[in-house]
Structure 1
Amino acid sequence: MDRIAAQSQPYVLSLFRFVTGLLLFHYGVAKLFKFPPVEMFESVTPLSLWGVAGMIELVLGGLLMLGLFTRLAAFILAGEMAFAYFIEHLPHSFFPVINDGALAIVLCFACLYLAVTGGGPVSVDAMRR
């Protein structure tokens, strides 16, 4: 079991990178293009704080999906997710289960992990090397 897991680890890393990027990209699309329609993103304008966050998530989430400039994109996204947690979630409660900040925390540390490990073998970064 360990041998099989060790052989598949680089490819699972690439899949992890893609799914993390897809989640962030999805939030950027919802904030900026209102698709799918989400009540909490209804009044987001492009130059508002949420709109700028949507632009960051759209562009850098797309880069993560491609595996292009993975470490830099993931590092910036980790900072954005930390910022989102402290600005939007923490003021409501200290506990993530109450303040709905669990996803922001998980995405922050997922991006931090990707900033350290890189995008894996199935990425544009790997092809450029």
Structure 2
Amino acid sequence: MTIDTLETVWAPRLLSVLRIVAALLFFEHGSTKLLGFPPSDHSGAPLLSLAWVAGMLELVGGALLIPGIFTRCVAFILSGEMAVGYWMVHAPQSFYPVVNGGDAAILYCFVFLYLAAAGGGPWSVDALWRGRS
């Protein structure tokens, strides 16, 4: 395997894998907040609360990103959600992300920002719509 093979064949495929895995994990955050599954301390957000809005973005956004539908737009919105979430919820608790529990929010923010720029990869509905697979 050469570097050229990694760049031309595997990098686009791994972009799709990154999108799918991040979206599945993100979808789980939304399903926990809105549907109570899997059960956690964050289950059952009150209707129309900030946590409910975040849960809707996570559930719907994750569901759209898993197959790669409107990837750039959805990922940009979710990146912004994570930035706002970090600064509103985590940052006031402590300056250090590992202490304030915001390291996942930061990581999601930048993964989604990357997907907004890079797109969904070859294994996405977006690629099918554009005639690329």
| TM-score band, normalised by shorter chain | over 0.9
The alignment-based identity, stated in percent, is: 51
The structure 2 residue matched to 1:10, chosen from 9, 12, 15, is: 12
Q: Post-superposition, which runs of at least 4 consecutive aligned residues in structure 1 deviate over 2 A?
A: none
What is the CA–CA distance in structure 1 between the aligned matches of 2:22 and 2:6, rounded to whole Å?
A: 20
What is the CA–CA distance in structure 2 between the aligned matches of 1:81 and 1:66, rounded to whole Å?
A: 21
Mapping of residues 1-129 of structure 1, within 5 Å: 1-6=2-7, 7-39=9-41, 41-129=42-130
Distance 1:67 1:49, change over 3 A: same
In structure 1, what residue type is equivalent to 2:38? P
| Aligned-residue RMSD, C-alpha | 1.0
In structure 1, what residue type is equivalent to 2:89? E
Deviation at 1:42, TM superposition (A): 3.5
Task: Single out whichever of 70-79 and 3-12 deviates more from structure 2.
Answer: 3-12
Aligned length: 128
- Please tell me whether the aligned partners of residues 36 and 44 of structure 2 are also in contact (alpha carbons under 8 angstroms): no
Structure richer in helix, relative to its length: 1
Deviation at 1:3, TM superposition (A): 3.0
Could you tell me the TM-score, scaled by structure 2's length?
Answer: 0.93
Deviation at 1:44, TM superposition (A): 1.6
Q: Secondary structure at the match of 2:122?
A: coil
**Greater relative CO (CA pairs within 8 A, separation 6+):** 1
**Which runs of 5 or more structure 1 residues have no equivalent in the other structure?**
none
In structure 2, what residue type is equivalent to 1:92? Q
What is the CA–CA distance in structure 2 between the aligned matches of 1:70 and 1:79, rounded to whole Å?
A: 14
**Which runs of 5 or more structure 2 residues have no equivalent in the other structure?**
none
